[in-house]
Chain A
Amino acid sequence: MIQYASIILIMLGLYGLLTNRNVIKIIISLNVFEIGLNLFIISVGYVDGGLAPILTGNSTSVLSFVDPLPHALVLTSIVIGVGTTALGLAFAKKIYAKYGTYEIDEMGVE
């Protein structure tokens, strides 16, 4: 179920990119896109009844863990997402400084 929701999230992110003409909203849409993506990646590694991938004293069977690799990938992806978001916001501020607005339509043609 969460897997489906994550795909819909990705699509909503794309929808936001399609319809929004506001710089900040575009970055928000990108973030929605990324959250959906991250959820999807995790869902790919999920095993019903699996354990979180941390070895503790009372864990026994090997196969009962969920796939840890997607987790590692998502960690990377989250951090990269923050990087691009920060950069995007920085550009947004730059744009604001130059045009005095976040609305792309109000900026006129370059």
Chain B
Amino acid sequence: MFSIELVVLSTLLAGVLAYIVSIKLPKLGSYLTILASLAVFSVLAYFGFNNNLDAEVNLIPQFVLFKTSMFGLYFAIIVSFIFFMVSFFNPYFIKDYKYPAAYNLFYLMALAGTIGVFFASNFITLFIFFEIVVWTSMFLIPLGKKRKPTVTYFVFSTVGSFAMLYAVMFTFSITGSFDLAAISVLSGKSALLVYILLAVAGFAKLGAYPFYVWLPKVLGKSPDPVSAVFSGGIEKLGAFIAFMAILRISPASIYLEAVGMYLQNYVIAIFGAITIVVGTLQAIRQDDAKKLLAYSSASNGGYILVAIAMSSSISLTGAMYHILAHALASTAAFLAIAVVHYRTKTTKISELGGMIHHMPLTYMVYLMAIISMAGIPPMGGFISKWLIFQAVINKQMIIVAVATFFGSIGSFLYVFRPLAALFLGQKLPKYKGVKEAPFLMMIPLIILTLGSFYIGVIPNQVIDFSNKVIAEFGFGPLLMNEFGIQGANGTLSAPIIASVFGLGVVVIAIIFFILPKSRKVGLMDTYTSGEFIYTEELLHYSADFYAPFERLYPAKPLISKVYAMIKEKVNELGRFFKYWFFTNKPEVTVLWIVLILTLLVWGDIL
């Protein structure tokens, strides 16, 4: 037996310890983060799989209560794994940070917070840990290039968490209970309100439309390990909340016969679809590889939402699967970019090229990651997308189906771009001395890729697990035999697909290696327009692949104009108040006193 409380507390303590150590020895402190997150992951995985986690709370006072559930465990294992994987990068990045000690502290605190969220038994606990994650992870952001995303992140996260708080308190005022199950009791309009508020909370955290603008800012500008953690780990809190909101609350509303689901779920699905489309479109346009991945994270969040909204066994399994697959793949992608960034100090697509010659392993990792994100076998992303497509087609939701397919195709377009621009293409002279990733960085890269590959070939264990999870929400298990998953319109046999795919790869490799090879030529060993080339200029066009798209729509999302406007309005209001009330003139006060009193004494007559 191992108690959750102990996990959370010892992670916090480890954070403090890492802080103290890193005041003098930042690097040692960052090794501590590796150890601590390893410990958290292994404890959760070991005891969790054996159903041996203890939810009792003795040390943390007051209203903090934990419980074990498959649902929480699933998330906790994934997120702690991501934290563990990313922590390998900390020793390399720690020296760039202004406050290395604080980084180590907040890294582990954020981990503890996420664990707390997933095992929370009542909403207060959930909210406390949710907010802890918000503010600790918030302080990780400004350690990167820019300070401003911190505020953006805070605003959007807080909109989400306050929406949740309001929902929680509202539920409390009606049912008198903070228990997670209490929301199921609600009915009618109050249920709808709580549903909407919780959905907003989930949306905000997941970075779904219209709250997705924080993702590119934060993921694009934070330190690389932090981006990875956000994309693979912390963002998943939103999915967690969305799961609960959508599946546990049943506000009575219009049942849409055509798609076989309730109106509010349909709206969520539509929002998910919009997220997919917008995220994809924006991702295509980005020049910065991290921003690109950030938009891709947003659009993947859209898939998860669509899947949850359809709430059937197959779609929920798809959602769960997608959470795992995306966490693995996007973390791997972010970490691969982080390696490039670490070695070359830039993530701009237009400034890079030919990295495959310097870091082939990183290239492979990135390739596998994007294969998974694009949903191509034999990676995990393929299975999850297959499941989601199955569900969409089954529900006959035309718009959503179009969006999801569009997203899938779009993701080919955008993930290919960094691949071509960063890793392939022309070798750039200024990166001559760039080496492959250091050993410690390779470990998580390889593990993540293998993991992604494994769940793409042998989905059974994951689906077993997710069946247990969806059983907690009252859905039947997804049928599955040794070789395949029983979908609505067919059976998916991942191992077979993988072997076919593997066969293909082998065949191509044989062709590639056996047939006469092309000759490698130097950069100057060519000519263009009848002229020889004497300068090493950039000759490949991967940076401007999608120039036509760029004329179609602006790189900045339209919705961010709305947010800028809101901010400006608040500022204006502030200036208005300052001008009219805080004037430092006594007559203003007197005037208001007179007016209010006049209103009072003549109030009956007027």
Contacts and interface: CB of A to CB of B under 8 A. Distances in A.
A89 B232 CA distance: 68
Label chain A's interface by main secondary structure.
Answer: helix
Contacts of A26: 586
Interface in B276-328: none
Interface string B577-597: 000000011110011011000
Interface residues of A, number: 7
A95 interface: no
Nearest to B593: A14
A7 B584 CA distance: 27
Nearest to A30: B586
A17 interface: yes
Contacts of B586: 17, 26
Interface residues of B, number: 8
Interface string A3-35: 000000000001001110000001000000000
A14 B590 CA distance: 7
Nearest to B587: A18
B585 to A, nearest CB: 8
Contact of B594 (A18, A104, A110): A18
Nearest to B585: A104
Nearest to A104: B585
A26 B587 CA distance: 10
A18 B588 CA distance: 8
A19 B591 CA distance: 10
A45 B585 CA distance: 35
Contacts of A17: 586-587, 590
Contacts of A104: 585
Contacts of A19: 587
B427 to A, nearest CB: 63
A59 B593 CA distance: 45
A18 B594 CA distance: 10
A19 B587 CA distance: 8
8 contacts: A14-B594, A17-B586, A17-B590, A18-B590, A18-B591, A18-B594, A104-B585, A110-B584
| Leading 6 A-B pairs by shortest Cβ distance | A17-B590, A18-B587, A18-B590, A14-B590, A14-B594, A18-B591
Interface of B: 584-587, 590-591, 593-594
Given A19-B587, A26-B586, 6 more contacts: A14-B593, A17-B587, A17-B590, A18-B594, A104-B585, A110-B584
